[in-house]
Amino acid sequence: MPLYEYYCPRCSSKYELLRPMSESDAPGTCPKGHAGGQRTLSMFAAVAKGSDGASLPMDMGGGGCACGGGGCGCGR
């Protein structure tokens, strides 16, 4: 079952719900009990460990930069 991220406009809290894909867009109830939470777009960054142990952006093929939001290690 996928984990989805939601936002509650009443208390401004962000929370996650484990639910079936068929219910992914249904409003969720926040931990404080407010109904009507809205699903948000999840963001992630793909990183790999370099030979020195440092985190590096993953090359997703095609020689492009794999940075997503925030600081970019590709020099762009």
Which pLDDT belongs to residue 60?
A: 56
pLDDT tens digits for range 43-66: 777 777 778 877 777 665 555 555
Whether the model clears a pTM of 0.75, i.e. scores above it, the answer is no
Give the span between the Cα atoms of 15 and 63, in whole angstroms: 36
Give the span between the Cα atoms of 18 and 23, in whole angstroms: 10
Domain locations in the chain? Answer: 3-39
Give the span between the Cα atoms of 11 and 67, in whole angstroms: 32
- Phi-psi group of 61: left, alpha or beta (phi > 0 → left; psi -120 to 50 → alpha; rest → beta): left
Which pLDDT belongs to residue 51?
A: 80
- Listed in order, strand segments (DSSP E) in the chain are 3-8, 13-18, 38-39, 47-49, 55-57
